[in-house]
Structure 1
């Protein structure tokens, strides 16, 4: 999971980089608002840690641009020394998803970050997922469509779970690859091959394909016509 840290304090940034790397994330750093905004909109991230006071472009302005201009819904955890209620409400009104006051515990930051990412991926409640006539039980690794049981390879099951957990979102190739394989598979047909296998299994009895390919971007669940 790639996390972008936008923080001008080098000591804080270094601590965050070291801690997140030790927790299995792939953290990267931008030291000012302008470069942070560029990286935030030009690359794919699981979450963004955003300092409020930045040179070049404030954290509030940056977050607002992410939401209103770039139309990105990447989870944003805002970091700041300002701790009044009005400060927090201002951060939320500019598009922040959570707010952490400095100095903070790295363990608390890690817990909040994990919660944001899980919520964004629809993984907060690990219950049965349903979409049209498809039913997926992540606890038992079972998939049903209508009255038939579908056996899927593990990676295909993970792909279907990812799509069904956020059915109204278009998931990019990178998002799918990072979530299922843990890395981007640049130049590889691995994702396309697994998606083909998944679709073939889901339509084996002549059912309509429930997965939409959004050309040049990625995939999402295709909303039934009745909806």
Structure 2
């Protein structure tokens, strides 16, 4: 038992690790394909975008191992504090952040950039896990659902103000986790429908979306009436 506690690799979901490595490889290959050219295609050229990405991938390995050395109680104890700090960083970046590509998402420290929304994703997951780890937590109760929604939507709200809608969409993936824990599928359907309406509005305008929505609603009502009569 003691040997298992000292082994940091016990209990790791290796399928998830393998999928993570595959995603990293695919991501790096895409960056390499988009950035390289016939003149400059050396893999270990660290002045290029794909070369710098290799450095970050290499640095992530010792960081991952270092994180595994911490006892799970550490994350349970400090998850709420880390979550609050990350929210403060999101608020701060709106005031002191640097605007890049139309979004105020980065802190700039000399030549180093820091995007707090990336850390907030992990801290949001930890805060949500701590909330749901309580034995008395019941996701069927509305008050408990609201607590989970606040944890998810609070950082998403401040990220939307930057605006960085790509990162905001990632927070909707937490609803799939909640669904596995018993949250009704209705929330996911409503969320997906809302995102779809938003994208259609941008592409085709408000009038077109309203007409499509009315047609769909009318079709559903007619189908419900027909089904009820049968």
How does the TM-score come out when normalised to structure 2?
Answer: 0.29
Which one has the bigger strand percentage?
1
How does the TM-score come out when normalised to structure 1?
Answer: 0.29
Structure of greater Rg = 2
